């Protein structure tokens, strides 16, 4: 098809003069991001799409709140795992990945959670900037709940959940399951859980200071979706 040839030619042209792109990735959250290791489901998608668009990624790892500030200050060029709900005077790419977040509690707690607003009755721990990224109903709950906290490091949620220090955690189950491998000597990860599927899948985008960077990233993203590389990356992490 003609459009595929156009994408290929543009991608090859851009690759000749690759420009650096300082990208904030957040902290360790396997299988999406293995901090400092240059790999992960989300990491590989972002880097591959960027490379096909002639952008050479320079990764920066830090908590999301700090990365948001760095982006505002011009210390990085783009930030991952974000969308328009996060706010800020920046530009956004197309959706490159979707997370399926759930509310999780120990089954022994026997909590009654039917909708997002029900979380307001409990102590809740979530990932940084969840209060913006998970929608207006969630933000209202978070702002009105004195026992709501956001934690930069994903592994802390596993410890707090299984030790009973918090009623509910909000997380993607792939991340929770992965970190069980790292905390099983500290807490009893065999305790039964109850999952509350009260969230729609969250589509994440690249947030860029320059619109041109997002436009080029979109080009690369379309390329890896059309040439099969995106699916290959997904398969690489399917066992996690």
Residues 157 and 209 in one domain: no
Can you give the residue range of the structural domain that contains 169? 101-196
The residue assigned the tokens 């530009």 is 91
| 132: CATH | 3.40.190.10
How far from 127 is each of 48, 51, 63, 64, 131, CA to CA, in Å?
Answer: 26, 29, 10, 9, 9
Residues 148 and 227 in one domain: no
Given this model, what pLDDT does residue 64 score?
94
Given this model, what pLDDT does residue 211 score?
97
Residues 52 and 90 in one domain: yes
Residues 106 and 37 in one domain: no
Residues 87 and 47 in one domain: yes
Residues 118 and 183 in one domain: yes
Residues 92 and 111 in one domain: no
Final residue of a domain: which of 196, 211, 228? Answer: 196
Residues 76 and 109 in one domain: no
Given this model, what pLDDT does residue 87 score?
80
Residues 173 and 138 in one domain: yes
Structure confidence by residue, pLDDT tens digits, 128-151: 999 999 999 999 999 999 999 999
Gap between the Cα atoms of 158 and 147, Å rounded: 17
pLDDT in tens, the chain (240 residues): 544 554 555 555 544 567 999 999 999 999 999 999 999 999 999 999 999 999 999 999 999 999 999 999 999 999 999 999 988 789 999 999 999 999 999 999 999 999 999 999 999 999 999 999 999 999 999 999 999 999 999 999 999 999 999 999 999 999 999 999 999 999 999 999 999 999 999 999 999 999 999 999 999 999 999 999 999 999 999 876
Given this model, what pLDDT does residue 15 score?
46
> What's the 3-state SS for the chain?
CHHHHHHHHHHHHHHHCCEEEEEECCCCECCCEECCCCECHHHHHHHHHHHHCCEEEEEECCCHHHHHHHHHHCCCCEEEEECHHHCCCCEECCCCEEECEEEEEEHHHCCCCCCHHHHHHCCEEEECCHHHHCCHHHHHHHHHCCCEEEECCHHHHHHHHHHCCCCEEEEEHHHHHHHHHHHCCCCCCCCCEEEECCCCCEEEEEEECCHHHHHHHHHHHHHHHHCCHHHHHHHHCCCC
Gap between the Cα atoms of 67 and 25, Å rounded: 8
Residues 232 and 213 in one domain: yes
Q: In this structure, what token pair is assigned to residue 188?
A: 């009893």
Buried/exposed code over 196-205 (b: 16+ C-beta within 10 A; e: otherwise) = bebbeebebb
Given this model, what pLDDT does residue 9 score?
52
Given this model, what pLDDT does residue 169 score?
98
Residues 38 and 66 in one domain: yes
Residues 65 and 134 in one domain: no
How many domains are there within the chain? 2
């Amino acid at each position: 098809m003609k459009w595929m040839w156009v994408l290929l030619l543009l991608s090859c042209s851009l690759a000749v003069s690759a420009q650096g792109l300082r990208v904030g990735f957040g902290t360790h959250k396997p299988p999406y991001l293995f901090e400092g290791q240059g790999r992960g489901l989300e990491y590989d998608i972002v880097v591959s799409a960027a490379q096909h668009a002639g952008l050479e990624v320079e990764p920066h790892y830090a908590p999301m709140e700090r990365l948001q500030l760095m982006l505002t200050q011009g210390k990085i060029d783009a930030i991952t795992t974000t969308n328009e709900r996060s706010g800020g005077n920046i530009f956004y790419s197309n959706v490159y990945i979707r997370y399926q977040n759930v509310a999780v509690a120990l089954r022994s707690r026997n909590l009654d959670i039917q909708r997002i607003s029900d979380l307001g009755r409990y102590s809740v721990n979530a990932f940084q900037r969840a209060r913006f990224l998970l929608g207006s109903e969630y933000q209202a709950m978070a702002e009105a709940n004195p026992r709501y906290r956001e934690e930069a490091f994903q592994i802390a949620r596993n410890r707090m959940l299984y030790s009973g220090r918090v009623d509910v955690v909000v997380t993607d189950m792939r991340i929770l399951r992965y970190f069980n491998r790292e905390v099983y000597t500290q807490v009893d990860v065999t305790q039964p859980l109850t999952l509350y599927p009260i969230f729609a899948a969250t589509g994440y985008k690249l947030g860029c200071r320059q619109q041109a960077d997002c436009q080029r990233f979109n080009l690369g993203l379309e390329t890896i979706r059309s040439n099969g590389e995106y699916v290959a990356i997904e398969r690489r992490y399917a066992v996690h």
